[in-house]
């Protein structure tokens, strides 16, 4: 029996899972903040909730590293520590890890739901978002309460010399709480699909957007594995450091991938910046870098109102379809100035002015307003989220620029 034990270790799997998933979460969070800086949009509630979730995930990862140094994933016979000390430390780390696990997952859910609220603020899914938001908070409160009062007094959970009452079975605790948050995750996962289907996007782009949101499917897979391993967990065995390892390893993947899932929709500006930078290398020196229209027939017009320059309108008669737009025979690209950004609205009562000053047909009215970054951020459309601090209008005859009163 001893020979069999000495040949087994789950530490390699734990280190690999922690390194890969935590690095992915760290990278996505860093790129998310970089995207905000690139677009010059201040952090909103979904960003702050995501940052808090990542901070809890960091503590979770630190606890796992400490546990790995204390025999996690090994049999007792392989650990160079007294058995009582191994069990006490393992239970202490597990008790703390359960709390940070719940907080990290809950704040990841809240971050995604806050993003939905901002993205789909004019849709009919606001009530489901509120219901899921409240459900996530209730789940967090109940799970935290159950974890803290797992045993009474609390120290009885990890100290064998403290007399107390432990009324919650660890296996059932893992299973019940993970099942509840898995149901919430699935609801969050499918919530935006119907809205995305309504977007006027080419099928390939629509599929790409849905696939990005569906990354949360991998979080659900990790949750299902945690559920399965919870049913196998033997609470009566003294080999806790070995038996609980599969649950903790998959929970680590779950925590970090939830952060990746929350960050992915916000990384579009970084992707556009990278792709446009590479495309700009092949353009002529007369073009303005990644913001220049790719055309053999184009001209620009400085847009101003009340003596204040709002930006540059580039009219491209033979432009290729940009990443934010569909097919069209003309593109009007407004690059916002460093001091103002325009809001965009369709209004059939207005008639637009073309570059030559003549009045033509229906138009899009771009009004320069001195609005806070938070308001601008709350009104981003999907194209705005991915845009490079600019507005792209397709298939329009004219553009009128005016100053808000």
99 is a domain residue:
yes
Q: How far apart are CA 112 and CA 185, in angstroms?
A: 10
Measured between alpha carbons, how far is 330 from 328 in angstroms, rounded to an integer?
6
**DSSP code string of 361-397:** SSEEEEEEE---HHHHHHT--HHHHHSSSEEEEES-S
Euclidean distance between CA atoms 194 and 378, whole angstroms: 21
Same domain? 194 vs 331:
no
Tell me what pLDDT residue 390 has. Answer: 35
Strand order in the sheet with 308-316: 298-305, 308-316, 331-336, 390-394
**CB within 8 A of 157, min separation 6: which ones?**
91, 95, 150, 151, 164, 166
Full-model pTM: 0.69
Reported for 310-316, long-range contacts at CB under 8 A and 24+ positions apart, including other chains, are 310/334, 310/336, 310/337, 310/340, 310/342, 310/366, 310/368, 310/401, 311/335, 311/336, 311/337, 311/340, 311/342, 313/355, 313/399, 313/401, 315/354, 315/355
Report d(CA 170, CA 91) in Å as an integer. 11
232 and 102 in a common domain: yes
Q: Please give the chain's pLDDT, 405 residues, in tens.
A: 334 445 589 999 999 999 999 999 999 999 999 999 988 889 999 999 999 999 999 999 999 999 999 999 999 999 999 999 999 999 999 999 999 999 999 999 999 999 999 888 777 888 999 999 999 999 999 999 988 888 888 888 898 888 888 878 878 888 888 899 999 999 998 888 777 777 777 777 777 777 777 788 899 999 999 999 988 888 888 899 999 999 999 999 999 999 999 999 888 888 888 887 655 555 444 444 433 333 333 334 444 444 444 444 444 443 333 333 333 333 223 223 333 333 333 333 333 333 344 444 444 444 444 444 444 443 344 444 443 333 333 343 445 555 554
Report yes or no on 51 lying in a domain.
yes
Q: Do residues 223 and 356 share a domain?
A: no
261 and 365 assigned to the same domain: no
275 in any annotated domain? no
In a domain, 9, yes or no: yes
Q: Which residues contact 113 (CB under 8 A, 6 or more apart)?
A: 129, 132, 133, 136, 188
* Three-state secondary structure of 59-128: HHHHHHHHHHHCCCCCCHHHCCCCHHHHHHHHHHHHHHHHHHHHHHHHHHHHHHHHHHHHHCCCCCCHHH
Instruction: Compute the distance between CA of residue 320 and CA of residue 297 in angstroms, rounded to an integer.
Output: 12
270/197 Cα distance (integer angstroms): 24
On whether both 194 and 340 belong to a single domain, the answer is: no
Q: What pLDDT is recorded for position 138?
A: 96
- Indicate whether 277 belongs to any domain: no
Report how far residue 288's alpha carbon sits from residue 268's, in angstroms, rounded to the nearest whole number: 21
- The single-letter DSSP state of residue 264 is G
CATH number at residue 17: 1.20.1070
DSSP reduced 3-state for 137: helix
Paired with 305 in beta bridges are 308
- Distance (Å, rounded) from C-alpha 402 to C-alpha 404? 7
253 in the same domain as 302: no
b (16+ CB within 10 A) / e for 63-76: bbeebbebbbbbbb
Q: At what angle do helices 83-119 and 45-69 cross, to 10 degrees?
A: 160
- What is each CA distance from 17 to 25, 61, 64, 238, 324, in whole angstroms? 12, 11, 11, 25, 36
Residue range of the domain that includes 393? 288-403
- Shared domain for 210 and 345, answered yes or no, is no
Which alpha helices (H) appear in 233-381, and where do they start and end? 240-243, 245-263, 268-280, 373-378
Cα–Cα distance, 323 to 205 (Å, whole number): 9
Together in a domain, 159 and 294: no
Is residue 108 within 8 Å of residue 53, measured between CB atoms? yes
Question: To 5 degrees, how large is the angle CA 394–CA 202–CA 211?
Answer: 125
Same domain, 233 and 381: no
- Residue 10, classed as helix, strand or coil, is coil
**Per-residue burial over 351-371, b = 16 or more CB atoms within 10 Å of its CB, e = otherwise:** ebbbeeeeeeeebbbbbbeee
Residue written as token pair 């073009």: 287
Residue 261 contacts residue 289 (beta carbons within 8 Å): no
Look at residue 351 in the predicted model and tell me its pLDDT: 38
Quick one: 88 and 233 in the same domain?
A: yes
Is the residue at 272 inside a domain? no
> 63 and 204 share a domain?
yes
Our count of domains for the chain comes to: 2
Residue found under tokens 């908070």:
137
Q: Is residue 347 part of a domain?
A: yes
Same domain, 64 and 205: yes
pLDDT at 279: 54
281 part of a folded domain: no
């Amino acid at each position: 029996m001893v020979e069999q034990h000495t040949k087994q270790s789950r530490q390699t799997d734990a280190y690999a899972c922690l390194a890969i998933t935590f690095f992915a979460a760290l990278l996505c969070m860093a790129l998310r903040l970089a995207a905000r800086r690139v677009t010059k949009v201040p952090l909103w509630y979904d960003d702050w909730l995501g940052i808090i979730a990542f901070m809890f995930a960091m503590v979770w990862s630190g606890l796992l590293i400490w546990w790995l140094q204390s025999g996690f994933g090994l049999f007792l016979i392989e650990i160079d520590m007294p058995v009582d000390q191994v069990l006490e430390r393992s239970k202490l780390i597990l008790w703390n890890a359960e709390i940070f696990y719940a907080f990290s997952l809950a704040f990841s859910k809240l971050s995604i739901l806050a993003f939905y609220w901002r993205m789909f603020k004019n849709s009919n899914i606001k009530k489901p978002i509120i219901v899921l938001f409240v459900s996530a908070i209730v789940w967090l409160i109940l799970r935290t309460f159950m974890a803290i009062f797992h045993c009474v007094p609390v120290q009885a959970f990890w100290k064998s010399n403290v007399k107390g009452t432990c009324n919650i079975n660890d296996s059932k605790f893992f299973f019940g709480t993970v099942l509840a948050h898995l149901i919430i995750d699935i609801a969050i996962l499918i919530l935006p699909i119907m809205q995305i289907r309504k977007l006027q996007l080419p099928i390939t782009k629509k599929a790409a957007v849905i696939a990005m949101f569906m990354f949360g499917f991998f979080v659900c897979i990790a949750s299902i594995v945690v559920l399965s391993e919870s049913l196998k967990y033997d609470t009566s065995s003294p080999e806790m450091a070995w038996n609980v390892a599969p649950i903790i390893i998959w929970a680590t993947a779950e925590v970090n991938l939830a952060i990746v899932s929350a960050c992915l929709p916000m990384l579009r500006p970084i992707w556009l910046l990278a792709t446009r930078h590479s495309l700009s290398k092949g353009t002529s020196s007369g073009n303005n870098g990644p913001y220049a229209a790719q055309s053999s027939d184009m001209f620009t017009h400085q847009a101003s109102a009340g003596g204040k320059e709002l930006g540059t309108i580039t009219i491209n008669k033979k432009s290729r379809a940009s990443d934010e737009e569909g097919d069209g025979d003309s593109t009007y690209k407004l690059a916002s100035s460093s001091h103002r950004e325009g809001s965009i609205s369709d209004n059939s009562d207005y008639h637009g002015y073309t570059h030559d000053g003549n009045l033509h047909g229906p138009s899009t009215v771009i009004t320069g307003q001195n609005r806070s970054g938070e308001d601008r951020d709350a009104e981003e459309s999907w194209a705005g989220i991915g845009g490079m601090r600019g507005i792209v209008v397709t298939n329009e005859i004219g553009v009128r620029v005016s100053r808000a009163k």
